[in-house]
Amino acid sequence: MSEKSFVMLKPDAVSRRLVGKILARFEEKGLQIVAVKLLQISKNLAEEHYGEHKDKPFFNSLIEYITSAPSLALVIKGDDVISVIRKIVGATNPKEADLGTIRGDFAMDMGRNIIHASDSLESAKREITLFFKENEVIDYDISDNLWIYE
């Protein structure tokens, strides 16, 4: 069964013009973009999205970074999409992320790690609802899914 994840290209990814390269990795893998939105995240939205980290020492700098310039919010669909995307994205610390992952190939610093991806189906649901209205997620089928899935 196809599941959905929330993915966000953070301000450094957009400002460094890496959007095309990053989206190509998801598309080439066989995943499907079902929603996309360029937005400058407000302080309120950033604080809600990262609510679980509010007591961490890096929280304020994280909010400042995420709200500093436009981000690209996405919903991506596919089988086992949460774990497949987390593998493509790589470890939180880009210096430790494997080469071949997005963070491993494009980033250097925890505080500039260029991309967010949901860590569970539960958080995906919460994050999709935070960033998108129901009618902004387009649940279409494409015929080449037959060449991607058995």
CA distance 39 to 36: 10
Question: Which of 75, 116, 118, 131 is an active site residue?
Answer: 116
Contact between 119 and ligand IDP by CB under 6 A: the answer reads: yes
Active site residue 53: no
Site for ligand IDP in 43-72 (CB under 6 A): 53, 58, 62
Work out whether strand 2-9 and strand 115-117 pair parallel, antiparallel, or are unpaired: antiparallel
Closest C-alpha to 7, from 15, 27, 16, 17: 27
Tokens 């973009």 belong to 33
CB nearer to ligand IDP: pick between 52 and 144: 52
What letter represents residue 61's amino acid? S
CB nearer to ligand IDP: pick between 40 and 145: 40
Of 32, 116, 124, 127, the one binding ligand IDP (CB under 6 A) is 116
Site for ligand IDP in 90-109 (CB under 6 A): 92
- Helices and strands (DSSP H and E) totals, the chain: 8, 4
C-beta neighbour count of 143 within 10 angstroms: 6
- Does 87 appear as a known binding residue? no
Q: Which residues line the annotated binding site for ATP?
A: 10, 58, 86, 92, 103, 113
Residues that bind ligand IDP (CB under 6 A): 53, 58, 62, 92, 110-111, 113, 116, 119
